[in-house]
Structure 1
Amino acid sequence: MKFERMEIRAFLDELASESPAPGGGSVAALCASLGSALVSMVANLTIGKEKYKENWQLMEDVVAKSESLRFEFVDLMNRDTESFKTFMAAMKMPKATEDEKCVRKKAMGEASKLATEVPLLTLEACVEMTELAYLAAKNGNTNTISDAGSAALIGEAAGKAAAYNVKINLPGVTDETFAADFKARMTEALLQLSTNADKTTEILDKALQ
């Protein structure tokens, strides 16, 4: 069953169970989707308010992007768990002969690549989401500035959580070119993620003294 079709209680029960999936990667994507929804709320509560008329177009652009990200994060929730199951299936492949060992090793390498790429995509999407949260905090309805700030911090936490999942799976990526690319992308994304969160926090600290 797709996670978005589950009731909240059922999802939490599944998360808390002895099953290793869903795990941190799916939770990171879930949290990021909630942050995106908050950004959309701030933008929607700005559009149509005469006081913020000059920002309506910007907020319309923000809500279009944040809604797209919201659904992307939900998809990443499912893909993260699916990639883990693929890796576990590869681990269980037979290894009695040299040929079987070779096939298993190749399958595990491909599965590790997928299990690394999915949380990396979550991290990179969190960078986009926190940039939107910054725009919402800076240009949105001031009555909802705390929501924009919350979205930025949620996005930062979700992105960092996703990065942990990249790091733990990265050693299993046997393709050195892919591994180097994943690591470089992760490092760059984490820097931008912190920048977005920090500049949003600065706005909140000044506004909520």
Structure 2
Amino acid sequence: MSAEQKAAPPGPTELLGLSVRDFQAATASKTPIPGGGSVAGVVGGLAASLGEMVLAFTRGKKAYAEHAAEHEALAVRLARARGMFADLTSDDASAYSLYQEASRCQDDTKQAQMATALAAAINVPREMTALSLSLLEDLKALGQHCNPYLLTDLAAAAVLAEATVKLSDYNVRVNAVSVSDKQQGQELRQVSARDVDRAAKLRQAVEEIVSKHV
């Protein structure tokens, strides 16, 4: 077996088992998977993870006892977001694999298969965007009552969550042009652009909280 054959790209489910170093190497390789969409999922997951870390250093402290119920709810949502981003990372790779399979189809089902693959290629980044916006709202709420020593980590989480929205927007835009209904494609791009603006405002709101202490 040649070295080239040994360096086969990881499949959608295998991505989640890679070490940080191996994921970087896989991304750097001359293969379409993992690409920008999968990277967006990883970035979003890291944003949620940082939020969880901030919360872990806040929960249980006497100074925040009155916010215990809110923190419990945030803990559940942040952990769920981290898991969902992992799933979406794999889903993005699966969507690309679906597109590849559809493009190779030679029978009369090709058009239907391509439409299904295109829908998946748009739905995954849209789901990442929705999850990132929800995460940004939670990060903003956490910033009101959290350990001040972790505020820069909270800001980092917000920046990463916004980056996930922007990366997802690129994936929506590049695929929306292939939607047969041009009005629908234009609407998808417009909605995605509005979400980018909303993400920027939420990130700024988190940074304003942080700037009062840092």
TM-score scaled by length of structure 1: 0.89
Whichever structure has more helix as a proportion of its residues is: 1
- What is the alpha-carbon distance in structure 2 between the residues aligned to residue 175 and residue 103 of structure 1? 19
1:195 aligns with 2:201: yes
1:22 aligns with 2:28: no
Q: Deviations over 1:27-53 (max 9, x none)?
A: 011011011011111112111111111
Report the AA paired with residue 15 of structure 2: F
1:163 aligns with 2:155: no
Please report how far the alpha carbon of residue 203 of structure 1 lies from its aligned counterpart in structure 2 after TM superposition. 1.1
1:126 aligns with 2:138: no
Q: Deviations over 1:161-200 (max 9, x none)?
A: 1111111111222356764663454234223211211111
In the alignment, what sits opposite 1:97? none
In the alignment, what sits opposite 1:205? 211
Please report how far the alpha carbon of residue 4 of structure 1 lies from its aligned counterpart in structure 2 after TM superposition. 2.0
Q: Deviations over 1:3-61 (max 9, x none)?
A: 22222222222111111111001101101101101111111211111111122221111
Which runs of 5 or more residues in structure 2 are unaligned? Answer: 1-12
1:93 aligns with 2:110: no
Which runs of 5 or more residues in structure 1 are unaligned? Answer: 95-99
Report the AA paired with residue 90 of structure 2: N
- What is the alpha-carbon distance in structure 1 between the residues aligned to residue 81 and residue 202 of structure 2? 16
- What is the alpha-carbon distance in structure 2 between the residues aligned to residue 32 and residue 160 of structure 1? 11
Please report how far the alpha carbon of residue 109 of structure 1 lies from its aligned counterpart in structure 2 after TM superposition. 1.8
1:137/1:149 contact within 8 Å kept: no
In the alignment, what sits opposite 2:180? 174
Q: Alignment length, in residue pairs?
A: 202
2:176/2:186 contact within 8 Å kept: no
Q: What is the CA RMSD across the aligned residues, in angstroms?
A: 1.7
Please report how far the alpha carbon of residue 106 of structure 1 lies from its aligned counterpart in structure 2 after TM superposition. 2.5
Report the AA paired with residue 67 of structure 1: A
1:86/1:111 contact within 8 Å kept: yes
In the alignment, what sits opposite 2:25? 13
- Which of 90, 108, 133 aligns to 1:78? It is 90
- What is the alpha-carbon distance in structure 1 between the residues aligned to residue 49 and residue 124 of structure 2? 21
Report the AA paired with residue 44 of structure 1: A
1:110 aligns with 2:122: no
Report the AA paired with residue 113 of structure 1: A
TM-score scaled by length of structure 2: 0.87
1:90/1:108 contact within 8 Å kept: yes
Corresponding residue SS for 1:172: coil
In the alignment, what sits opposite 1:3? 15
CA separation of 1:179/1:186 partners in 2, compared to 1, >3 Å: closer, same or farther? same
